[in-house]
């Protein structure tokens, strides 16, 4: 057992909260490459949980298992008390509307305006929203939360990198997800734009009462957005705790993240 693991005082405040997502003993290997060796994670309601791991540590593999794009060798994944690996395609599609994704590649459709990009998920998920004839209010509300109502009629080519990421986030928010998965939300952005995105993530957590899993290399992002962090090392949840708790660790593998 590593010293930073199972930090008591953090857990005590979280233990009574609802579990939005739970990964137990997840294993995945590619031939001899044992990427996940029994990874565990609990995301509690309302929290921002940051996962840090160095390049190649298996963060993307974990996310792919989580969204049903990859099948783990063993282990279980529960999302809002539903066993992900036992769901059929229809059930999986329904569950996906409860989960928002902001991935590095979550590109906008270049041939559509911002408004059309935001309308797109509403039309795809009619089982959640029905056939909405007037989407304007929902589109404006989502754009408002990312501070970009004025961009409603622009084309993606007219947006900066930071604006595109905000619009991609608005497109996720329009479905009112309970859980948001962020994969490297600040990658490729300059420091000022990164800061704006980080602030926005905090605001969204408050406004939409979402629970978020955030994968990042960005120590600043982790410090500002996380209630709790998990360090993924050697395929396991090597260390868990608040940013300050982990930063104070004497464990060499933990210290390496904060250099
Ligand atoms: N489909 C696949 N087939 C074979 N090996 C794979 C496959 N997907 C991932 N891997 C291997 O799994 C390991 C973990 O990869 P993964 O992409 O999850 O890392 P990561 O932590 O997301 O890295 P980064 O921060 O660089 O994105 C790597 O060794 C990678 O080569």
Domain boundaries, the chain: 1-98+177-259, 100-175
Predicted confidence at residue 16, as pLDDT, reads: 72
Classify domain 1-98+177-259 by CATH architecture.
3-Layer(aba) Sandwich (3.40)
- Token pair for 149: 């109502």
The answer, yes or no, to whether any atom of ligand 1 lies below 6 A from the CB of 60, is yes
Predicted confidence at residue 126, as pLDDT, reads: 67
Q: Which atom of ligand 1 is nearest to the CA of 64?
A: 18
Could you say which DSSP state residue 141 is in?
H
The answer, yes or no, to whether any atom of ligand 1 lies below 6 A from the CB of 232, is no
The answer, yes or no, to whether any atom of ligand 1 lies below 6 A from the CB of 53, is yes
Predicted confidence at residue 11, as pLDDT, reads: 62
The answer, yes or no, to whether any atom of ligand 1 lies below 6 A from the CB of 71, is no
- C-alpha distances out from residue 152 to 91, 156, 177, 220, Å: 33, 10, 21, 31
The answer, yes or no, to whether any atom of ligand 1 lies below 6 A from the CB of 105, is no
Residue 71 CA to ligand 1 center (angstroms) comes to 14
Residues 6+ apart with CB under 8 A from 161: 188, 189, 193
Q: Which atom of ligand 1 is nearest to the CA of 62?
A: 18
The CA-to-CA distance between both ends of the chain, in Å, stands at: 23
The residue whose CA is least distant from atom 24 of ligand 1 is 55
The answer, yes or no, to whether any atom of ligand 1 lies below 6 A from the CB of 236, is no
Ranges under pLDDT 50 in the chain: none
Predicted confidence at residue 128, as pLDDT, reads: 67
ipTM given for this complex: 0.97
Q: 246: left (phi > 0), else alpha (psi -120 to 50), else beta?
A: alpha
The predicted model scores a pTM of 0.88
Paired strand residues for 240: 230
């Amino acid at each position: 057992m590593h010293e930073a693991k199972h930090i008591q005082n953090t857990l005590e405040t979280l233990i009574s909260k609802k579990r939005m997502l739970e990964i137990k003993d997840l294993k995945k290997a590619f031939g001899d490459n044992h990427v996940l060796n029994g990874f565990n994670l609990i995301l509690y309601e309302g929290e921002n949980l940051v996962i840090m791991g160095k390049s190649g540590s298996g963060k993307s593999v974990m996310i792919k298992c989580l969204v049903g794009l990859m099948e783990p060798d063993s282990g279980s994944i529960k999302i809002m008390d539903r066993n992900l690996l036992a769901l059929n395609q229809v059930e999986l599609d329904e569950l996906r509307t409860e989960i928002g994704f902001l991935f590095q590649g979550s590109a906008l459709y270049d041939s559509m305006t911002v408004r059309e990009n935001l309308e797109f998920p509403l039309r795809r998920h009619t089982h959640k929203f029905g056939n909405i004839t007037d989407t304007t209010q929902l589109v404006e509300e989502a754009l408002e939360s990312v501070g970009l109502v004025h961009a409603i009629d622009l084309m993606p080519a007219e947006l900066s990198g930071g604006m595109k990421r905000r619009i991609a986030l608005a497109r996720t928010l329009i479905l009112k997800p309970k859980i948001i998965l962020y994969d490297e939300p600040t990658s490729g952005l300059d420091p000022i734009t990164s800061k704006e995105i980080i602030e926005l993530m905090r605001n969204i957590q408050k406004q939409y009462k979402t629970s978020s899993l955030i994968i990042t290399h960005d120590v600043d992002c982790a410090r500002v957005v996380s209630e709790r962090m998990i360090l993924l090392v050697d395929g396991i949840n090597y260390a868990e705790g608040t940013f300050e708790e982990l930063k104070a660790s004497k464990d060499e593998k933990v210290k390496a993240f904060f250099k």
